[in-house]
Chain A
Amino acid sequence: MKKKLVLTVLFIVSSLCLQAQTSGSNDGWLGELKGGIRIQKTQKLYWENGFAFDFASPKILDSRVHLGLSYVTTRLGSAMCTNAIKQDNFLFSPGYFFRHQKQLQPFARLNLGYFHADYEYAIFDVLPNRAFLFSVDAGLSYEFRIPLTIHLGAGYNLNTGNGSSRPGTLFPVFYQMSIYYSILKQK
């Protein structure tokens, strides 16, 4: 299941790159494709780190709407060499960026995705370990003169654990920082 999701993410990103390369020079469909790392901290819980991609096109509300894909996991954070729960988050994040032609852009996003926790022992198979992710976040994006962009944001998870039907490590508030490198950009 996890492999399928990773392959799906890679396929979507590859498709976006291909689309950007082929259409960018003809009709200006490509705006910018950025890729980088995402560092996330859940309030009173784990560090979850991973990868993130961000795509914007002048054909989509004049680059005001960005489409993001990200994968963060405790495997690259709190669970490294500790007993923290190994958990994975796959997110699709459409967001609206204000002041889109400025270096400093406030943004607001909706995050939809899939959560999976690995409890490792069969005795815990009776507990829920997967969930639909549904959160909102907002923050600031700063685009440097070099091809680097940084996102700082805070979010609220609307589908948290409840002790019975959802995983217990789904907490409400999280903070994230993403650092992107501009992979493709229309001139």
Chain B
Amino acid sequence: MKTIYILSRLLLIFMVGLSACSKSPVIDNATMLDGDQIFDPSLYNPVKYLVSAAIPNPTTAQKNTPVLIAVHGYTATTFEWDEFRAYSSSKANILLSQVLLGGHGRTYEDFKKSTWQDWQEPILTEYNALRAKGYTNINFAGSSTACPLVMDLIKNGQIGANGMKYILLVDPIVIPSTKILTLVGLVGPMLGYLDNNNTAGEEGHYYHFRPQETLQQLLDLTVKTRKDLQEGYSIPTGIKMKVYKSIKDPTADAISAVLIYKGLTNSDGTKVDIEMLDSELHVVTRLAGRENVTQHDKDIQTHVFDDMYKMIEQ
């Protein structure tokens, strides 16, 4: 009898937990990206954001101009690389494609039902479109989750030596700083979603809520990336990689850089280039929308932009 009582109590707790699954966040459509009024601007105006759309018939000179495909991280939008656009706009000799990840920059429901393969798809679409138009100097810059997405494309041979020159990774995530993410399969269905704690400046550019389904996708992606690196693989011949990693990153554990350094090699077997940065930020290249930005943060951003630009324009 006592056993039945205990089991019934446990069942009740379980049912209460399950009931939380159906809970949806309260979305303010006027201010939140998650709603049905604010969308990423690249969806309205792809010509401004994608080189493949902006230049339908490139000249020979344009085909040989360096193109940088810049991709943002989980919950973010093209906003994450707007500062590099401003930086590079004064420099006429590179073209910038700001790619919006699949499932991002739209609504909470669109995000909730997306998979990491959906997130990845626009990267390959833009790369293939540029190759089809004859661009010969394509480069990639990714922040946070964009990094494992492009590393997966390299692993699968979908991004090859043909046309790709530099791959630049900013604060790649392989191991999350918050280890509780590893339990999302267990606690996620009970929570339903997590709050992103956006600042006022980030609201409208980053999803306010993280559906547990997408956290599970992020976990699947990072675990796959970690396993791939554990086995080891190489970058195709002719491509060079550099990783910039904040050493006190609150989102992507700095040990992610160790795993990349150990697991990913250049085609000749040498190690990829890694620079550890004395920063407490995640995605050191994005300062817009943050609170309490220091001069040190600005110096690091300028240093990384200068370093990236120097490599790409070569």
Contacts and interface: CB of A to CB of B under 8 A. Distances in A.
A169 B183 contact: no
Contacts of B226: 45
A100 B178 CA distance: 39
A172 B257 contact: no
B230 A83 contact: yes
A163 B182 contact: no
A172 B177 contact: no
Contact of B183 (A82, A83, A172): A172
A85 to B, nearest CB: 7
Interface in A99-155: 119-121, 123-124, 126-127
B223 interface: yes
A171 B183 CA distance: 10
B274 interface: yes
A91 B292 CA distance: 42
A163 B249 contact: yes
B236 to A, nearest CB: 19
Nearest to B280: A164
B175 to A, nearest CB: 5
Nearest to A156: B183
A167 B261 contact: no
B255 A83 contact: no
Contact of A83 (B177, B178, B180, B231): B231
A78 interface: yes
A58 interface: no
A107 B280 CA distance: 41
A78 B230 contact: yes
A110 to B, nearest CB: 20
A45 B183 CA distance: 12
Interface residues of B toward A: which range?
Answer: 20 to 34
Residue from B223, B259, B263 with most neighbouring chain A CB atoms (10 Å): B259
Contacts of B182: 43-45, 171-173
B253 A168 contact: yes
B229 A163 contact: no
A170 interface: yes
Contact of A163 (B183, B253, B278): B253
A120 B263 CA distance: 13
Contact of B251 (A123, A160, A163, A168): A163
Contacts of A82: 230-232
A34 to B, nearest CB: 31
A37 interface: no
Contact of B258 (A45, A78, A127, A164): A127
A8 interface: no
Interface in B63-91: none
Interface in A164-181: 164, 167-173
Given A82-B230, A83-B262, A161-B255, A171 B179 contact: yes
B259 A83 contact: yes
Given A83-B231, A171-B179, A163 B254 contact: yes
Nearest to B186: A173
Contacts of A161: 175, 177, 179, 253, 255
A162 interface: yes
A67 interface: no
A84 interface: yes
B231 A127 contact: no
Contacts of B252: 163
B276 interface: yes
A164 B248 contact: yes
A26 to B, nearest CB: 45
A119 B258 CA distance: 7
Nearest to B256: A168
Contacts of A120: 262
Contacts of A119: 255, 258
14 contacts: A43-B183, A83-B263, A126-B276, A161-B175, A163-B250, A163-B251, A163-B252, A164-B254, A167-B255, A168-B175, A168-B255, A169-B175, A170-B179, A171-B182
Interface of A: 43-45, 78, 82-85, 119-121, 123-124, 126-127, 160-164, 167-173
Given A85-B259, A164-B254, 6 more contacts: A44-B219, A127-B254, A161-B253, A163-B177, A164-B248, A168-B256
Interface of B: 175, 177-180, 182-183, 219, 223, 226, 229-232, 247-259, 261-263, 274, 276, 278, 280
